[in-house]
Amino acid sequence: MRRRLKANDEQASFALSPPGSSASALPDEKLLEIHRRLCLIFGCPIAYFRALDPLSELVSSLLSHRTRNAASGAAFRALRTRWGEDWAAVRDADPAEVEAVIAGVTWPEQKAPRIQAILRRITELRGELSLDFLTEMTVPEARAWLQGLPGVGPKTSAAVMSFSSLRRPALPVDSHHHRVAVRTGLIPPSVAVGPSHTVLEARLPPEWTAQQIYDHHEVMMLHGQRVCFYRNPACERCVLLELCPEGQGRMAGGPPPQDSRG
């Protein structure tokens, strides 16, 4: 990490207003302060880690579900090695061969036929295998179109919009991002990863650019990976401790909430 903030650096803690309170209409100071502190640690703006075309990003995102980045990346490269950039060839291949090529991901027996089904559906709807037309849509329209495909949810649609060469403002929420949001009180523990996309996006400043939204996801994810672990989070070196009800409880020796450790 670039540098640690001291626990008392510049800011006091922020109180979280209960959901539905009148404060929800005010600028989201807690989210902004979390973002500010994490950007000081990880450095913002953060360089985009790739610039795949939107169709390739869709396939990559589907491979990544419940799979470590190294394994999903290797599976994506294996598809490219076998069929190049010809997604039509992947669409028309023997499902058993596609499954064998992506064997390193979780549930390859489910992901292979799902990816092929999505590629077939795009071909049926558009007459070609391309998602470049999404540039002509608003972000909500494009995400709704993507989520009409079998097996595509809010995380995948946001990833296609944000991570691909489209570079559009959309907030993906992975398990690390979600865990930090729950523990810091940005969302209640009862809000699962899928529904959290809508809740957390609503808390973002409306003027934020695609880069700022991308940065926010990346710093939340990195914090979850490097400090706010699933088990035994490193609260003693967390720059968000003043803002984190669960972290404060852990440091005081109390039991962690049962529904926010995942």
Catalytic residue positions, numbered: 155, 174
* Residue 67: both structure tokens together: 């799979």
Q: Which residues contact 69 (CB under 8 A, 6 or more apart)?
A: none
| Contact (Cβ atoms closer than 8 angstroms) between residue 145 and residue 156 | no
Query: Which of 60, 43, 33 lies closest to 219, judged by CA?
Result: 43
Q: Which single residue is written with the structure tokens 């996801």?
A: 217
Q: Torsion angle of alpha carbons 94, 98, 101, 102, nearest 10°?
A: -160
Q: Which residues contact 167 (CB under 8 A, 6 or more apart)?
A: 48, 210, 211
Q: Which single residue is written with the structure tokens 């039991």?
A: 255
Question: CA 175, CA 225: separation in Å to the nearest integer?
Answer: 10
Say whether 181 sits in a helix, a strand or coil.
helix
* Residue 13: both structure tokens together: 């803690």
Question: CA 72, CA 251: separation in Å to the nearest integer?
Answer: 36
